[in-house]
Amino acid sequence: MSERIFTARSLTKVYRSGDVEVRALRGVDLEIGAGEFIVLLGPSGSGKSTLLNIMGGLDHATSGRLLFRDTELTALGDAGLTRYRRDHVGFVFQFYNLVPSLTAYENVALVMEIADEPMRPDEALAMVGLEERMDHFPAQLSGGEQQRVAISRAIAKRPDVLLCDEPTGALDSKTGIRVIEALLKINEQLGTTTLVITHNASIQDVADRVLFFADGQITRERRNEHRRHAAELSW
Amino acid sequence: MATLDIKLLRDLRRMWAQALAIALVIAGGVASLVMAVGSLKSLEETRIAYYERLQFADVFATVRRAPKALLTDIAELPSVAAAEGRIVKLALLDIPDFAEPATGEFISLPEGGQPRLNQLYLRSGRLPQPTSAAEVVVTDGFAKAHQFEPGSRFSAILNGRKRELVIVGTALSPEFIYAMGPGDRTPDDRRFAIVWMAERALAAAYDLDGAFSSVSLKLLPDASEPEVIKRLDSLLDRYGGQAAYGRRDQFSDAYINHGMDMLRNMSQTLPPIFLLVAAFLINLTLTRIVALEREQIGLFKALGYSSRAVTLHYMKLVIVIVAIGTVVGAVAGNWLGGYITKLYRDIVHFPFLIFAATPGVYLVAAALGLAAGLAGALRALRSIVRLPPAVAMQPPAPPRFRRVLPVAWSLRRLLSQPLTMMARNITGHPLRAAFTMIGLALSTGILIASLFLSDTMENLIDVTFFMADRQDATVSFVERRNAAAVEQVAHLPGVIAVEPYREVPVRIRKGPLERRVMLNARPADAHLSRIIDIDLRPVVLPDGGLAISRWLAGLLDAKAGDIVEIDLLEGQRRTLALPITALVEDYFGMQGMMEAGTLARLMREAPAVSAVNVSLDNSRLGEFYDAIKRLPTVAGVALQRLSLVNFRKEMAVIVTTMATIYTGLAALIAFGVVYNSARISLSERARELASLRVLGFTQAEVLRILLLELALLTVLAQPAGWGIGYGLAWLLKTKMEGDVMRARLVVDNFTYALASGMVIAAALLSALAVRWRVARLDLVTVLKTRD
């Protein structure tokens, strides 16, 4: 395996709300190498999103350890996690979360202000095939286009990891495939470690590795010997 | 409980801070209305009851000496219900252990004790025995100021003879609710008393047996007052009568009227504006809150709730918030009103004065708040409820934004992304930005309208006490004296300079407009008491010229250069035509001014004096006071220094307290406006801001983006706020002007700065409150839920 980028040991997460306890993660052990493209599959409530949120520094684990390279994320406070997100993580969500008052170009340019060596916005937009649409406002873009703007915004700061929570969930098949294509291209060209949560089982074929979740644990994993191209997908 | 009502309670708990901020704004408006209208009503009703119960007269006149038989003729005048004669004389008092000379206004009591008109309200003791030459009743305030009780003694110089008097009772009178000594500008209970004495004793002292020097009339309800005054004047003319006057010119009543006018005008100006701002704010806020509930509204409709049920649900939310605000406002207003009423009771002498706001006030305040809230919520609901449920449940399409500048001048080269977001947010929602700015400008405006009073009062003090009347004291004579009296005063110990003046009551007329005022004559080179014109410059009157108060000129519709008619109401009664040569900047009462020689010539008499202004050596005040007390011709001494102290004290009580209360309420409203704007922006943009946090923006950076817009709007709103504030101040000042007192509008730069500073401070406080919210922004939940 190449350089190890994430190491999780006995990671648990318990949500408490009054007397009710929900065990979202029940001891996850995981190792992820730099540049891997991983798909997370599993039913709702199986813990995929919880793991992704903890890995992205959006949430705290209840117990266990999570290392990003040599940094123990589980020991960081809010300021440390903000710093970590700023320097290393890109997020893509099901709902694109673009700033409606900024154009595509400007939405990407947002990260220029906080990243050390960002891409130029036009360069980042070109990677997702949107160089022609960069002066459009979100209201003037289709769902797929908005999602690709969100992806280019996430990668413009050259993150080490790209975390995607159902990036195609709100899209039709044809647009969804374009989004997956963009993610693969970035993974390939920039070597960005990419984790994708999806309910769409057909996407698993493009990944290096597939993790199956159930009941807060990784129940199974599969390594694809032969990865399919996005163009070969359909659903 | 219906499920929707449970949701209502939970919603209220969730948005408690915001609901409270809105409720407090309403409370501010309601409190100001309840306080102002309630204290005014309390004063008005107390006065009506007091006048009624103690038979306060309608018409008053003084004469030199008239036989009692004349009273029968007066009582038989048409429209006169009752007439009563009495003896009224001013005399110096000598009070044990009290250095300054005090003045008593001595009033005779008939044989039966209580007079028929202007009765006494006894606070302690009893009325004097008709046969006693020493027993007196004094005003309650005077007794309290000297810790006098029935049995206490003091002396008075009655007609040149010193007499020892014994207090047998203390009383209040509807005639002297507000009273002050000769030459004074504010009441001073230590130095001025009304002293009631048996008629027999007072008549003997002044050689007025079988005669009277003052007459009071009660009129029938449909009487024509001017007609009665005209007939009374002609009856009294040959007995040295000075023109009779009605309540309008009765000092105490005029003053109380003015005080009530001030309260009324304040209550008609500030509370409506406060309520308007509150209404404006809840309208704006609730529109935005309801708009945020769009998807839930769609869901309710999809579940089968009728549009009416959904609308009613949100109406209830508004009603609860407005009700909380109204109750808090009513309680606070009631408390503040009680406080104000108590302050008034310390200055004006009412026997009873209880704050009681009528239920109508609360109803009006509640209705206004409710109307504003419901109108705001309905505005938002109408558009949402009309949507088909399926559409309402969808997120609204992203708002369309436009470039602020052409593409070629791309903002990206000029502004950072946060600045671009701010600029587009403002231009993308111009109405919302404009409303927020109006709210902020109104906040600054109402603060200025509450704060300006002290600037204006300081100007009044400056002009009155330091530019115009610069004498240390004014010595008033019992009756007019010749020039020798001036010399006598000049030789008193401690007197550095003297300046005589003469006062003659006159009627001044231009066309059909007429007023009764005092004509005040002084030496051409007067330097102690000067005439200050409307450009705030001292003026020297030319021989034959007449200067009148600017306010009087306004009432007579006259200007400098016009000819007015003057009826002299003393000595040889003649009517003269005189040109107005200057308008005087004065703030108390109304007067005409002319050169002493001119007046003597017009009166066809030798130069006479009514009073002398003096400048004193402060180290010899004690000797001066002792000497004055030995002068039988002196009615009283007004001390400028004390006048100023008392004036400041009285202003501090009424004006400053009112201004402070209004400022507090205005500040509360300002905070509400700013906090709500910030808080709603946060709700509306929670998603956008959470995205930024996920991208790696720090809390501080996100907060800056959120608050930048508010900061800019706050700053931009200030100049408009200053304009609104000046306008409101002008309106208030204009509405509070009257015959008794008025002012020139002065708003210091500091006041503008202070008002803006308070709004900016409110903005900073709101920023702190919002920061706490941003820190708690749940990134995951916000981002994973659909817009």
State whether A49 and B784 contact (CB < 8 Å): yes
CA distance B278 to B280: 5
- What residues in A contact B690, CB-CB < 8 Å? 97
Q: How far is A225 from chain B (nearest CA, A)?
A: 33
- What residues in B contact A153, CB-CB < 8 Å? 695
Q: Are B699 and B771 in contact (CB under 8 A)?
A: yes
| Coil, helix or strand at residue B742 | coil
State whether A100 and B688 contact (CB < 8 Å): yes
Q: Which of residues 110-169 of A touch B (CB under 8 A)?
A: 110-115, 135, 137-139, 153-154, 157, 165
pLDDT of residue B656: 76
Structure tokens at B112: 């039966």
pLDDT of residue B489: 92
CA distance B203 to B209: 5
- What residues in B contact A165, CB-CB < 8 Å? 784
CA distance B422 to A78: 27
State whether B696 and A114 contact (CB < 8 Å): yes
Is residue A143 pLDDT above 60, yes or no?
A: yes
State whether B398 and A111 contact (CB < 8 Å): no
The model carries a pTM of 0.76
DSSP B606: -
Structure tokens at B666: 């205005």
pLDDT of residue B681: 82
Over range A43-58, report the average pLDDT: 90
State whether A87 and B696 contact (CB < 8 Å): yes
pLDDT of residue B771: 85
| Coil, helix or strand at residue B166 | strand
Question: Whole-angstrom distance between the N-terminal and C-terminal Cα of chain A?
Answer: 32
State whether A95 and B699 contact (CB < 8 Å): no
A103-136 pLDDT, tens digit per residue, is 899 888 888 777 888 889 999 998 888 889 988 9
- What residues in B contact A98, CB-CB < 8 Å? 398, 691
Q: Can you give B117-147 as a three-state secondary structure string?
A: CCCCEEEEECCCCCCCCCEEEEEHHHHHHCC
State whether A85 and B420 contact (CB < 8 Å): no
Q: Which of A49, A91, A97, A161 to mutate to test the interface with B (most CBs of B within 10 A)?
A: A97
State whether B397 and A139 contact (CB < 8 Å): yes
Nearest chain B residue to A138 by CA: give it.
Answer: B398
pLDDT < 50 regions, chain B: 787
Among A89, A93, A105, beta carbon nearest to B783:
A93
Q: Are B568 and B242 in contact (CB under 8 A)?
A: no
- What residues in B contact A105, CB-CB < 8 Å? 412
State whether B784 and A102 contact (CB < 8 Å): no
- Higher pLDDT, residue B397 or A49: A49
Q: What is the per-residue DSSP string for A151-196? A: HHHHHTT--SEEEEESTTTTS-HHHHHHHHHHHHHHHHHH--EEEE
CA distance B176 to A52: 84
CA distance B497 to B616: 7
Residue B485: partners with Cβ closer than 8 Å, 6 or more residues away: B477, B609, B612, B633
- Higher pLDDT, residue B498 or A93: B498
Among A82, A93, A98, beta carbon nearest to B696:
A82
CA distance A206 to A216: 24
State whether A157 and B696 contact (CB < 8 Å): yes
Q: Are A57 and A76 in contact (CB under 8 A)?
A: yes
B484-507 pLDDT, tens digit per residue, is 889 999 999 999 999 999 999 898
A160-217 pLDDT, tens digit per residue, is 999 998 888 878 888 888 889 889 988 999 899 999 999 888 889 999 999 999 999 9
Q: Where are the alpha helices (DSSP H) in B80-239?
A: 140-145, 199-206, 225-236
State whether B398 and A85 contact (CB < 8 Å): no
pLDDT of residue B435: 82
State whether B783 and A97 contact (CB < 8 Å): yes
State whether B412 and A82 contact (CB < 8 Å): no
State whether B780 and A137 contact (CB < 8 Å): no
Q: Are A209 and A222 in contact (CB under 8 A)?
A: yes
| Residue B98 Cα distances to A96, A178, B638, B731, angstroms | 86, 101, 15, 44
Q: Which of A86, A101, A151 to mutate to test the interface with B (most CBs of B within 10 A)?
A: A101
pLDDT of residue B8: 83
- What residues in A contact B700, CB-CB < 8 Å? none
Tokens 């997370």 locate to A40
Among B421, B692, B780, beta carbon nearest to A59:
B780
B5-16 pLDDT, tens digit per residue, is 887 888 888 888
CA distance B754 to B448: 8
For B153, list phi and psi in degrees, rounded to 5: -125, 150
Q: Which helix (H) or strand (E) holds B55?
A: none
Among B412, B691, B698, beta carbon nearest to A97:
B691
